[in-house]
Amino acid sequence: MLCNIQHSSRFSSVNLRSQDQRRMNVLFSKIIKNKLALLGGIILFILLLLIITTPFLNLSDPNAINTSDRFSLPFTSNYLLGADHLGRDILSRVMWGTRLSLAVGFSAALIAAILGSFIGIIAGYFGGFFDNILMRSVDVLMAFPYVLLALAIVAVMGPGLFNSLIAVAIVNIPFFARNVRGISLAYAKSDFMIAAKISGRSTFSCIIFELLPNLIPTIIVAFSTTIGWMILETAGLSFLGLGSQPPQADLGSMLGEGRASLIVHSHNSLIPGLMILFIVMGFNLFGDGIRDALDPKLSQGKLGRSKALTDLKKNFVFSERCSKSYLEVNDLTTKFIRNNYEIEAIKKVNLSLQKGECLAIVGESGSGKSVTALSITRLVASPPGIITEGFINYKGTDLLNINLQTMQDIRGKKISYIFQDPQSTLHPLQKVGSQISEIVINHKIINKVKLNKEVLELLRNVKIIDPERVVNLYPHQLSGGMRQRIGIAMAIANKPDIIIADEPTTALDVTVQAKILSIINDLKKEFNLSIIFISHDLNVVSKISDNIAVMFNGEIVEFGKTKKILNNPNNQYTKKLIKTSPRLSLVKKKYNAKN
């Protein structure tokens, strides 16, 4: 028994080490693929070699004065990079000065990161009194320009390299404090933190083992992107004579000493200036690479600006076929390209929709339902999405073969969407009425009085009581069901031909779900709408759909009339899907039998 436990423990530790190794390999590969980050890494690696080898090189004494050789030019005897105004070897002074500048800048960044993160964690986690006191103190620091504040601190403490280090660290504390505080504030109220408190963890334990690990990537990114600027700031103070004092030399003081002879003997200040440039550029480029690699959103391209139309692959072959269907999709294939790998989201999808008909697309999460819906009007984000094949016929027009202006005229006017989560799709800072109005005025010219009447009528169409009051409310003031009704009102605002409803009832309770389905069904009959209804719940689609398309692993595995699919499915996956969805009729029979 003990042997088994020890073996299991060793296996777990080896497994964890292998996972950590894989993560590091992925992180390293992401940095390597970023060409600018790779350049920054190479610069920093060269600088690291220089500062490590400096004590072992046969360099002249950086403080040895030889006035007979003052202002010697580079590549002259005994002076590879020339001599300064006192005849001191510039190469030796740059090498030792670089060590000193890097040490001071790194130390200042470390102090600012530790103190700023501590303040941010305390303010964000505890909130209330601590948050007000700490963050108002930080605001006081931020009220002053950071250069003037650093100069004031050095003026009070006196010139010197250590004092300039403290000054630079102090003025950069607010940057770390505000970043960490904002994230800590969000994490402190999250479910996993509440679960940790319920499990009996102490406050200290929650901060160290729950909160801090989630903050480390943010702190590392902030540290790596600011260390270059801190080196520049300390060099700036030394340039003004408030940092390093003679005969001690750092890059900033060397630059300051050389400014008097800048015109006649430019190499005296050009060489330390170039070294500062390389140091700051190396840290900034490498820091940006670390940020992109550690941040999942940046590394996956989610924060990049998506194109207005999903990209088509190069040499895309457009189809010239004709179709009798109101909307027909043939051989539609959409892929996602990440890290040079192609992920096939949907492949060879074939659908057809007639006027006034409801087509339900059902399948488990990740089966490709939403990607199919977004691909119809080319709304899949590019990058990373790309349509590689297909034909989408809408009333005789191939939607893959039209320009952006034509597509924008179709979106919201001819084909509109109802999304799953109205909380995220409705603008939190705009009133409901203005959001519905925006949909209308984007597609037609209308005066304000008529527009207001139209908005109120839309709210009445979706069964909203007291629309005059609701029109002036914000989304957070409405219930989930009310928000979804607003989403439906926006979808029908321009009397579209087709509505694509992407799981509009998933986040709602059963009673509200039934009301939303009733509204959609009534609108379908009233306006003769064609609807593509996406869901994973067969019980829901059985009430509203005429046809069903079953999706699995990005493919349509079965398509047909709703009654036929539900009563006599052919595909094994469809059969399993039906078994996992208890029929309402069976539930009703059992309920009646019990009573």
pLDDT digits (tens, 9 = 90+) for 131-181: 899 999 998 888 888 788 888 888 888 888 889 999 999 999 999 999 999
pLDDT value of residue 595: 38
The residues pairing with 353 across neighbouring beta strands, listed in sequence order, are: 327
Of the candidate ranges 285-299, 358-372, 486-500, the one whose mean pLDDT is the lowest: 285-299
Q: Write the pLDDT tens digit of every residue in 335-352.
A: 888 767 788 889 889 988
Query: Do 343 and 293 belong together in one domain?
Result: no
Sheet containing strand 498-502, strands side by side: 415-418, 498-502, 530-535, 358-362, 547-552, 555-561
- Burial of 488-516, coded b for 16+ CB within 10 Å and e otherwise, reads bbbbbbeebbbbbbbbbbebbeeebbebb
Task: Answer whether residue 69 shows pLDDT above 50.
Answer: yes
Report the share of the chain in percent with pLDDT over 70: 89
Q: Tell me what the mean pLDDT of segment 424-447 comes to.
A: 85
Comparing 515 with 17, which gets the higher pLDDT? 515
CA pair distance 461, 488, nearest whole angstrom: 9
Report the pLDDT value the prediction gives residue 115, as an integer from 0 to 100: 94
Do 325 and 227 fall into the same domain? no
Nearest 10 degrees: Cα torsion 193, 194, 199, 200: 90
Whether residue 52 sits in one domain with residue 184: yes
Quote the pLDDT of residue 341. Answer: 77
Q: What is the pLDDT of residue 297?
A: 53
Structural tokens at position 471: 């029109």
**Average pLDDT for 499-515:** 78
Calculate mean pLDDT across residues 33-60.
Answer: 87
Tell me how far apart the alpha carbons of residues 531 and 513 are, in angstroms, rounded to a whole number: 17
Arithmetic mean of pLDDT, 104-118: 92
Tokens of 520: 């959609």
Question: Which pair of tokens denotes residue 253?
Answer: 């003081």
Among the listed residues 334, 333, 349, 420, the one whose alpha carbon sits nearest the alpha carbon of residue 384 = 334
The full DSSP string for 299-368 is HTTTTSPPPSSPEEPTT---------SSEEEEEEEEEEEETTEEEEEEEEEEEEE-TT-EEEEE--TTSS
Both 210 and 333 in one domain: the answer is no
**Structure confidence at residue 592 (pLDDT):** 41
Supply the range of the domain harboring residue 247. 34-299
| 8-state DSSP, 416 | E
In a domain, 447, yes or no: no
Nearest to 175 by CA among 212, 214, 216, 230: 230
Please give the mean pLDDT across all residues of the chain.
82
The HSE-up count of residue 207 (CA atoms within 13 Å, CB side) is 16
| Residue 505 lies inside a defined structural domain of this protein | yes
Six-digit token pair at 59? 């360099």
Asked if residue 373 and residue 250 are part of one domain, the reply reads no
- Of 440, 80, 101, 382, the closest CA to residue 249 belongs to 101
Q: What is the CA angle 126-132-136, rounded to 5?
A: 135
Q: What pLDDT shows up at residue 305? A: 62
Give every CB contact of residue 490 below 8 A, 6+ residues apart in sequence: 416, 435, 436, 439
Considering just the CA atoms, what is the radius of gyration of the chain in Å? 33
Structural domain tally of the chain? 2
For residue 527 the two structure tokens come to: 């306006």
Q: The CATH number of the domain where 570 resides is what?
A: 3.40.50.300
Which pLDDT value is given to residue 14?
45
- Confidence class of residue 591 from pLDDT cuts 50, 70 and 90? very low
User: What is the tens place of the pLDDT at every residue in 511-528?
Assistant: 777 788 888 888 888 888
In a domain, 295, yes or no: yes
- Predicted local confidence at residue 23, as pLDDT: 62
Confirm whether 305 is domain-assigned. no
Cα 479 to its chain centre, rounded Å, is: 28
Q: Is the dihedral of CA 305, 311, 313, 314 positive or negative?
A: negative
* Cα(457)–Cα(448) distance, integer angstroms: 14
pLDDT recorded at residue 339:
67
List the one residue out of 268, 193, 298, 280 whose CA is nearest residue 235.
280
Q: Above 50 in pLDDT, residue 394?
A: yes
Domain boundary among 250, 265, 299: 299
Q: Is the pLDDT of residue 263 over 70?
A: yes
Residues 257 and 366 in one domain: no
**Mean pLDDT, residues 110-126:** 93
Contact (CB, 8 A) for 351 and 546: no
Asked if pLDDT for residue 482 goes beyond 90, the answer is no
Asked whether residue 472 is domain-assigned, the answer is no
Mapped onto helix, strand or coil, the DSSP state of residue 285 is helix
pLDDT of residue 4 exceeding 60, the answer is: no
Burial class (CB in 10 A: 0-12, 13-18, 19+), 354: middle
Q: Are residues 53 and 121 in the same domain?
A: yes
Helix (H, G, I), strand (E, B) or coil at 381: coil
Query: Of 299, 328, 347, which one is at a domain's C-terminal end?
Result: 299
Residue 94 lies in a domain: yes
More confident residue, 234 or 510: 234
pLDDT at 515: 80
Q: Do residue 317 and residue 289 come from a single domain?
A: no
Asked whether residue 24 carries a pLDDT value surpassing 70, the answer given is: no
Which of 299, 326, 360 is the last residue before a domain boundary?
Answer: 299
Q: Round to whole Å and give the CA distance between 239 and 257.
A: 8
- Exposed e or buried b per residue across 435-468, where buried means at least 16 C-beta atoms within 10 angstroms of its C-beta: bbbebbeebeeeeeeebeeebbebbebbebeebe
Q: Say whether both 282 and 321 belong to one domain.
A: no
Q: Which residues contact 186 (CB under 8 A, 6 or more apart)?
A: none
The most distant pair of C-alpha atoms in the chain lies apart, rounded to whole Å, by: 112
pLDDT of residue 409: 85
- Output the domain CATH number for residue 81: 1.10.3720.10
Which of 200, 192, 529 shows the shortest CA–CA distance to 357?
A: 529
Q: What is the pLDDT of residues 290-310, one digit of tens each?
A: 777 766 555 554 445 677 788
Examine the domain organization and report whether 151 and 239 are in the same domain: yes
Matching residue, tokens 């890097």: 102
Residue 135 located in a structural domain = yes
Distance separating alpha carbons of residues 305 and 430, to the nearest angstrom? 23
Count Cβ atoms below 10 Å from residue 517 Cβ, excluding itself.
19
3-state secondary structure of 391: strand
